[in-house]
Amino acid sequence: MTSHHTQTVREQAYHVLVEASNSDEYAETLIENIASEREARDLIRLRYLVTTVIRRKLTIETVLNQFINRTIEPDLWVLLKLGAAQILFGASDHRHADVNETVEVARRVGKPHWCKFLNGVLRNIDRNCTNESPSKFASNVYPAQTGDELRLLKRGHFPDPHKDFAGYVSVAFSLPRWLIDRWQNRFDQEQLLKIANWFLSSSRMCLRVNLNKVSREKLLTLFAEGDSQGRPGNIATSILDIETNSVTQLPGWETGLFSVQDVTAQQAAATLNPQPGETILDLCAAPGTKTIHLAELMNFEGSIIAADVSEDRLSKVRENTKRCDAKLVETVQIGYEGNDFPAGPFDRILIDAPCTNTGVLGKRVDARWRISPADIQELSQLQLRLLTQAASHLKPGGRIVYSTCSLEPEENEQVIEQFLKDHSHFECSSQKLFLPGSPSDGGFQALLVDQR
């Protein structure tokens, strides 16, 4: 990536998108690498532009392809998508300026020969947009920022929702068709739309209050005094809808009064219910948010082994536990095959298993385009292996919570079913599938109890 100090936000978004398309790096990682170079307001705009282009890739490309009849070089294709994203999803009264400023990016990156073509295509897309707000889905209707905000094109580009509902949801909400086909077999149309709609955005920021140190009401008061409003969530530890440009600038961050964690994820450690003085294994622990929650539930008394395969990721665990003064946590690096497993035995084990992340595709915008049906099968084998290995390090009468951010049965219910077949002395005390938007991110959690 070239020097950033003189770059406009659009120009920098273009460079991030080009780098993301030419590497295995996640866009969010690339943004974090340059976050210190931007003011908070510019960083928000940069993140919005980059994530919108990636999140709405299928919608954008479907519209662009109606106006292009020649081969496009990859970097120009990136800039076309950046321009189209602003026209299709941005403020309608700013579309003319969005075109001009996107064309200007071509000049600034030394590609003036792109300008005429870029301008022509983006003007055609602008002319195809209307300012009308339709009330029903159609082949020329698509959701903007949410499914409640529909926009109308003069010409249809998408499958007819009455004839091919799955195809329409896939293109208009920008999700892989194979994934929509899978979900359509399990969820009705209302549920499917609720899931797809939730994934149109990064979803609401949710905080978990450290009740050992502060009450939720007191923390909300501290936020309000710093001009950051929030509201209580639907479980006792949660705060929703925080108004802030930077969570690290909120009062109480440095002293561990709260952590950023979705409502669904907050319930994993609570389901394990660790007790003060116990020895706990947190498997696949990075970045350590659930580790800290375990420590809080134990009143910071006992021992937690936080294990992961990546030393870089374990450094984030140490960073987070230090911020929250969780001195009972020790980090341990294990191998990809689960070798070098901490010996234990443990009173309780939390397994936050590697998965396809199909329950959190709003937050992890790149993931929807990186996963495949083959990944589901491959990961399910890894998940069962991790669960089996963990069980061999559990004390008789101990408990395991198996947790994923996936909606897929192969990674969830079927892993538990196979495990129980192989381990007759275990019982599944509870299991739950959380659907995205009901009212938080999606995922799965099962509580397994050793009956010996």
Identify the domain boundary among 198, 214, 242.
198
Helix (H) / strand (E) element for 205: namely none
CATH number at residue 69: 1.10.940.10
Please, which residues have CB within 8 angstroms of residue 312's CB and are 6 or more apart in sequence? none
**Domain match, 413 and 332 both:** yes
Would you say residue 335 lies in a domain? Answer: yes
pLDDT tens column, 355-408: 999 999 999 999 999 999 999 999 999 999 999 999 999 999 999 999 999 999
CATH number at residue 380: 3.40.50.150
Task: Please report which residue ranges of 324-423 form alpha helices under DSSP H.
Answer: 367-370, 373-391, 413-422
**Domain match, 219 and 185 both:** no
The yes-or-no answer on residue 284 being catalytic is: no
Q: How confident is the model at residue 318 (pLDDT cuts 50, 70, 90)?
A: very high
**Domain match, 99 and 135 both:** yes
pLDDT at residue 4 in the model: 45
pLDDT at residue 246 in the model: 82
β-pair partners for 279: 303
Domain residues for the domain of 38 are 9-198
Would you say residue 406 lies in a domain? Answer: yes
CA 90, 92, 94, 95 dihedral sign is positive
CATH number at residue 250: 3.30.70.1170
Q: How confident is the model at residue 240 (pLDDT cuts 50, 70, 90)?
A: very high
pLDDT at residue 338 in the model: 66
Would you say residue 2 lies in a domain? Answer: no
**Domain match, 418 and 313 both:** yes
- Residue 288's region, left for phi above 0, alpha for psi from -120 to 50, else beta, is left
Helix axes 165-172, 177-184, angle to 10 degrees: 130
For residue 3, is pLDDT > 50? no
**Domain match, 14 and 155 both:** yes
Q: How confident is the model at residue 37 (pLDDT cuts 50, 70, 90)?
A: confident
pLDDT at residue 439 in the model: 86
**Domain match, 272 and 386 both:** yes
**Domain match, 242 and 293 both:** no
- What does the chain come to in residues? 452
Identify the domain boundary among 214, 239, 260.
260
- Distance, in Å, from the CA atom of 380 to the CA atom of 56, rounded to the nearest integer, reads 28
pLDDT at residue 210 in the model: 97
pLDDT at residue 449 in the model: 98
Identify the domain boundary among 198, 222, 252.
198
Q: Give 50 or 147, the one with higher predicted confidence.
A: 50
Would you say residue 22 lies in a domain? Answer: yes
Choice among 115, 324, 405, 428 that is catalytic: 405
Q: How confident is the model at residue 58 (pLDDT cuts 50, 70, 90)?
A: very high
Q: Rounded mean pLDDT of the chain? A: 94
Mean pLDDT of 239-265: 92
pLDDT tens column, 115-142: 999 999 999 999 999 999 999 999 999 9
**Domain match, 121 and 47 both:** yes
**Domain match, 242 and 273 both:** no
**Domain match, 118 and 223 both:** no
- Which of 18-32, 210-224, 277-291, 328-342 comes out lowest in average pLDDT? 328-342
Q: Which residue has 């009901």 as its token pair?
A: 438
pLDDT at residue 148 in the model: 83
Please, which residues have CB within 8 angstroms of residue 451's CB and are 6 or more apart in sequence? 397, 425, 426, 427
**Domain match, 284 and 391 both:** yes
**Domain match, 256 and 271 both:** no
Total domains, the chain: 3
Would you say residue 347 lies in a domain? Answer: yes
Q: N- to C-terminal Cα distance for the chain?
A: 58
In 3D, which of 186, 181, 10, 199 has the Cα closest to residue 98? 10
Would you say residue 51 lies in a domain? Answer: yes
Would you say residue 3 lies in a domain? Answer: no
Q: How confident is the model at residue 205 (pLDDT cuts 50, 70, 90)?
A: confident
Would you say residue 281 lies in a domain? Answer: yes
Q: Is the pTM of this model over 0.75?
A: yes
pLDDT tens column, 83-93: 999 999 999 88
